[in-house]
Amino acid sequence: MSEPPRTRRAEYAEATRNAIVTAARELYARQGYFATTVEDIARQARVAPATVYAVGGGKQGLLRTLTDLWSQAPIVAEAMERQSQLTDPGEILRYTAGVVRSMRQDYGDIMRVVLATAPNSPEAGEALRLATDRYRAAVATVAAHLHETGGLHPDMTTRQATDILWFFFGYTGLATLTDDNAWTYEQAEHWLVQQATTALRTPP
C-alpha cells in the first residue's frame, strides 16, 4: 500500500527543520557551540528565533539532534550487517577501518564539536555518553566477530580486543593522524589496520 502524498505544510515543516539543523551544524563547527547564539542560527536558517526553539529545541536540542545524526547514521546499521557476513579477520578489520574513515569524513565536524563541548556542558556530556555507548557497542560487536573468526590471540578476551579496537578506531586514532599530523585518510586507514592486526594477535 503506497503512502499518502505529503502535504505542502509537512514539506515546509521538514524543510524548515533541515535548514535549522544545517545552520546549527555549520555555526557550531565554525565558531563553536558556546559562541553560537539562537539568533545566529535563526539568521542563517532565515527563520525567527522562536522557531529555532519550537522546531529544534534551542541550542541544546540541536546539539542532541546532531549527535543522533552522527551516532545513529544509517551507515552504522549497514556496516554491522555487512561485517557480520565477513569471515576473514583481515577483511573484517579493513572494512571496519573503512567505515570509521567514512564516519570521520562525514561527521567529523559534529564529533569535534561534541567532544570539545562536553567537558563544560552537562547536556553535551550526556549526548557524548550516549554516542559513546553506541560507538563502543558497535566496536564490541566487531571484537566478538573477530574472536569467532580466529582474528585474536588465543589468550585474548573479547573485552581486551574491544579496548584495543577502541584505541585504534575510537575518537582519537584517525583524528590524531589526519588532523594533527596531516596524514591522508588513506595513509591513516592503512596504518591503523596494520597496527591493530598486530596488537590483536599479540599475547595480552
3-state secondary structure the chain: CCCCCCCHHHHHHHHHHHHHHHHHHHHHHHHCCCCCCHHHHHHHHCCCHHHHHHHHCHHHHHHHHHHHHHHCCHHHHHHHHHHCCCCCHHHHHHHHHHHHHHHHHHHHHHHHHHHHHHHHCHHHHHHHHHHHHHHHHHHHHHHHHHHHCCCCCCCCCHHHHHHHHHHHHCCCHHHHHHHHCCCCHHHHHHHHHHHHHHHHCCCC
CATH number of the domain bearing residue 44: 1.10.10.60
> Looking at the structure, do residues 92 and 121 belong to the same domain, yes or no?
yes
29 pLDDT exceeds 80?
A: yes
CATH of the domain at 182: 1.10.357
- Number of independent structural domains in the chain: 2
Residue 132 resides in a domain: yes
Instruction: Quick: pLDDT tens for 85-137.
Output: 999 999 999 999 999 999 999 999 999 999 999 999 999 999 999 999 999 99
Whether residue 90 sits in one domain with residue 23: no
